[in-house]
Chain A
Amino acid sequence: MYKPLQVKVFRFNPESDVAPKFDDFEVPVFDNMAVLDVVIYIQNYLDRSLSFRFSCRIGMCGSCAMYVNGRARLACRTQVSSLKTRDITIMPLPNFPIIRDLVVDMEPFFDKWKKIKPYYVPKRELDEPVTVQPNSNEREFIDDMLDCISCGCCYSACSMVATNKDYLGPAALNRAYTLIADKRDAIRVERLKVVDRSYGVWRCHTQFNCAEVCPKNIVPTRSIQNLKRRCVLKKFGIFK
């Protein structure tokens, strides 16, 4: 029989609570238990009023991101055993407004996505499809960066986002890179202008906080550095 988990959960309802608090729960452990199972157990058996967000349970949707034991993680992909402790503290993602308990408002995050126009715009003058060789370095690099599930972990870990509300953040910049690096895209230069601003790529200080917490092992810092390089090439008139 495993020793039960001692779980501290952040509780706050901005509509009725004056200040946030932590509730303590004792949760039994079972094999291969994930942090998502912990909060589901609490909601099912201990406190039905606990609010959190989840959907796919397999690390695909990015909706169950939480701040677990001092680090942003996907609750469904974080095994309790990997935390190496029976004491678990669960909080909502930092850098986001709190809606209730562990549920955060993703609106500011997606507002920044909208700024970089996160959709592919095809070139109209092309008659033939542009070929990007499957074995080219560029193709492989973009492929890695396309794995983003917009969970917000990188955004919550970024200290620049914490200090500057206008900074676009790692996820939006990473998305911008995947489009700007795509030669088929028609508005690459326009997109580059959006990120070539004080609150764009130039606020990144390559601290790699985003890469540290990304559940998909993406390195947004690398994308941002590549964007900076392209901004410089644009100034030299080399980027087309």
Chain B
Amino acid sequence: MHAWTWVLQRISAVILIIAVGLHIGFLHFSNAGEALNYGEIVARLKTPVLIVFDILLLIFGLYHALYGLYSVFLDFDSGKKERVVVLGLLVCVGLGIVGFGIFGLLCTARSL
């Protein structure tokens, strides 16, 4: 299991470097100097490519962060029971945030 999760951590790191760069570039520098109103931002969020991109960014970002947290937890002496509880908790938190994020993005896309 460790080999797979470790490889995925590395892959997610590479994806995040590229995706966060694109995200910042697109959202903050593509309209530099122009003040966008709420309607324009929501309209932009309706773009299917952007929705898929944001969902992937959310998934990889969360995986990377939560695996990092779990890894820090493993660095300290802990019993098997504690490890299972913490892993379960982090998986629940991750799934919850991903679900909430996707729900939010889709609601925004359908709101206009």
The B1-52 residues at the A interface (CB cut-off 8 A) are 2-4, 6-7
| Pairwise interchain contact B77-A166, C-beta atoms closer than 8 A | yes
Q: Are B3 and A196 in contact (CB under 8 A)?
A: yes
* Distance of B73 from chain A, by nearest CB (Å): 11
Which chain B positions have C-beta within 8 A of A165?
Answer: 77
Question: Which residues of chain A from 109 to 154 have a CB within 8 Å of any chain B CB?
Answer: none
**Chain A residues, Cβ within 8 Å of B75:** 160, 163-164, 203, 205
Question: Which residue on B lies nearest to A231, using beta carbons?
Answer: B3
What does the 1/0 interface line of A155-198 toward B look like (CB < 8 Å)? 00000100111100000000000000000000000000000111
A83 CB within 8 Å of chain B: no
- Which residue in B3, B71, B76 is a CB contact (below 8 Å) of A234? B3
- Find the A residue at minimum CB distance from B75: A163
Interface flag for A46 (CB, 8 Å): no
State A166–B67 Cα separation when bound (angstroms).
Answer: 20
B76→A231 contact, CB < 8 A = no
Indicate whether B74 reaches chain A with its CB closer than 8 angstroms.
yes
- Chain A residues lying within 8 Å of B77, measured Cβ to Cβ, are 163-166
The 5 lowest CB-CB distance pairs between A and B, nearest first, are A202-B2, A235-B3, A231-B3, A232-B3, A163-B75
> 25 pairs across A/B with beta carbons < 8 Å?
A163-B75, A164-B74, A164-B75, A164-B76, A165-B77, A166-B77, A196-B2, A196-B3, A197-B2, A198-B2, A198-B74, A202-B2, A202-B6, A202-B71, A202-B74, A203-B74, A203-B75, A228-B6, A231-B2, A231-B3, A232-B3, A232-B6, A232-B7, A234-B3, A235-B3
Residue positions of B touching A, CB distance < 8 A: 2-4, 6-7, 71, 74-77
